[in-house]
Amino acid sequence: MTINASSLDEDLTSPNHSSFLHQNDHPEPILISKKLTTSDNYSSWRRSIMIALNAKNKLKIVIGEITKPTVDSNIKALCDRTNHMIISWILNTITDQIANSLSFINSSSNLWKELQEHYSQLDGHNIYQLANEISQLKQGNCTVEIYYQKLKGYWDELDALEAPYMCTCTCNCENGEVNGEMEQRKWLI
């Protein structure tokens, strides 16, 4: 569902408005400590930045759920300012080598799409390495809790790389159930 930014006109001063910027929001803060360096850390970087942007109520703008206002909208300036703030936040979490090539993108949602297209390509090598790490993992001298957290971390990262097919239809199909069964079998193996 895409929300038109002009439909949000009535509550511009509310922190719930997607374009609301708190007085402490400025371009310099780094929202997350990890920086995007290569495709190797893209999935964990993406998860971290999505959490941070959602906490600031800006994720819907970035993923394109809220469309830009029209040129004559009374909130265009506010939305443009918020868009540029989001761009600066994202660029601050990317290494300089990558950020320099992206600094002329004028839309936070276009920046997000560009990063996703470039770095989220399923990399068979990364999937192989994770599957190998999982199969080679031994408890050794670790406690059960530490062993479990390592294993779970690998599984979560693998799941992020191999995003399962999500059924979005409104019928009562069995895709969700089939995906769940496939995941359970994968974990068992």
Tens digits of residue pLDDT in 107-152? 999 999 999 888 876 567 777 888 889 889 999 998 999 999 999 8
User: What's the confidence (pLDDT) of residue 176?
Assistant: 67
Do 13 and 106 lie in one domain? The reply is: yes
- pLDDT 10s per residue in the chain (189 long)? 455 544 444 577 777 888 877 877 777 777 888 899 987 788 788 889 999 999 999 999 999 888 888 888 888 988 999 999 999 999 999 999 999 999 899 999 999 999 988 887 656 777 788 888 988 999 999 899 999 999 988 888 777 766 555 455 555 667 767 767 777 777 666
Domain boundary among 119, 143, 172: 119
What was the pLDDT predicted at 21?
79
Among 119, 144, 164, give the residue marking a domain's end.
119
pLDDT of residue 182: 73
Classify residue 129 by burial, with Cβ atoms within 10 Å: 0-12, 13-18, 19+: middle
Task: Give the CA distances from residue 13 to residues 21, 49, 72, 78, 92, in Å, rounded to whole numbers and listed in that order.
Answer: 9, 25, 20, 11, 26
Nearest-CA neighbor of 64 among 22, 107, 8, 9?
A: 107
Evaluate whether 19 touches 76 at the Cβ level (below 8 Å): no
Same domain, 97 and 152: no
Compute the CA torsion angle 69, 74, 80, 86 (nearest 10 deg).
Answer: -90
User: What would you measure as the largest C-alpha separation in the chain, in angstroms?
Assistant: 65
Q: Within this chain, do residues 99 and 129 fall inside the same structural domain, yes or no?
A: no
Question: Is the domain of 84 the same as that of 169?
Answer: no
3-state secondary structure 67-101: ECCCCCCCCHHHHHHHHHHHHHHHHCCECHHHHHH
pLDDT at 80: 92
Instruction: Provide the residue type at 39 as one letter.
Output: S
Say which DSSP state 66 is in.
E
Q: Are residues 45 and 106 located together in one domain of the fold?
A: yes
pLDDT of residue 105: 94
Same-domain status, 114 and 150: no
132 and 91 within one domain: no
- Residues 41 and 90 reside in one and the same domain: yes
User: In this structure, are strands 66-67 and 3-4 parallel, antiparallel, or unpaired?
Assistant: parallel
Q: The domain containing residue 171 runs over which residues?
A: 124-188
* Structural domains in the chain (count): 2
Tell me which DSSP letter residue 158 carries: H
